[in-house]
Amino acid sequence: MVTVNNSGGFEYQFVSSPADIFVCKICHLPSRDPHLTVCCGHVFCKSCLDCMKEAKSIVTNTICPVCRSEDFVTFPNKQIDREVKSLYVYCTNKGRGCEWQGEVNYIDNHLAKDGGCEYEDVACTSGCGEMIQRQDLTKHVD
């Protein structure tokens, strides 16, 4: 099995299960920077393909890991990229009380360092070293 780095697919909790066509066949997550195969039409994350190619001792980079075709050619697929980024996800702080749901495209804005999710941990601005939920920071500093 090839180890995939942290920049593989999207690890968010999706509101609805993503269609199989969006899921990378290496990391089994909705594909980030999706590439489509010519041989069998499966989707892979670009970073997963890069990791697979670096692991030449484990697999060769000329054989498709799904259909085993030796005609393993991939190309970026912008349509699948747009569709994956339009899927709805929950905030990564859902378990801490955040009720936000939105497209993958907008979660970075929701979690932004300045004025983002109220349930996100931020460093105390008074320098005590504690991590506090953004919504409790003013009370903590006072």
**What are 34-68's pLDDT values in tens digits?**
999 999 999 999 999 888 877 764 555 578 888 98
Q: Among the three residues 65, 85, 105, which one is the final residue of a domain in this structure?
A: 85
**pLDDT at site 125:** 82
Which amino acid is present at 7? Answer: S
Domain of residue 37, CATH code: 3.30.40.10
On whether residue 113 sits in a domain, the answer given is no
Contact 140, 129 (CB under 8 A): no
**What are 128-139's pLDDT values in tens digits?**
888 989 998 888
Contact 6, 19 (CB under 8 A): no
Domain housing 136: 118-142
**pLDDT at site 113:** 74
Contact 98, 111 (CB under 8 A): no
**What are 80-124's pLDDT values in tens digits?**
999 999 999 999 999 999 999 999 999 999 998 778 899 998 888
**pLDDT at site 100:** 96
- Regarding whether 33 and 80 lie in a shared domain, the answer is yes
- Regarding whether 81 and 28 lie in a shared domain, the answer is yes
On whether residue 56 sits in a domain, the answer given is yes
On whether residue 2 sits in a domain, the answer given is no
- Regarding whether 81 and 27 lie in a shared domain, the answer is yes
**pLDDT at site 6:** 53
List, in sequence order, every residue forming a beta bridge with 103; answer none if it has no partner. 88
Residue-averaged pLDDT of the chain: 87
- Regarding whether 127 and 71 lie in a shared domain, the answer is no
List, in sequence order, every residue forming a beta bridge with 69; answer none if it has no partner. none
On whether residue 76 sits in a domain, the answer given is yes
**pLDDT at site 56:** 61
Q: What is the pTM of this model?
A: 0.80
Helix (H) or strand (E) holding 48: helix 46-54
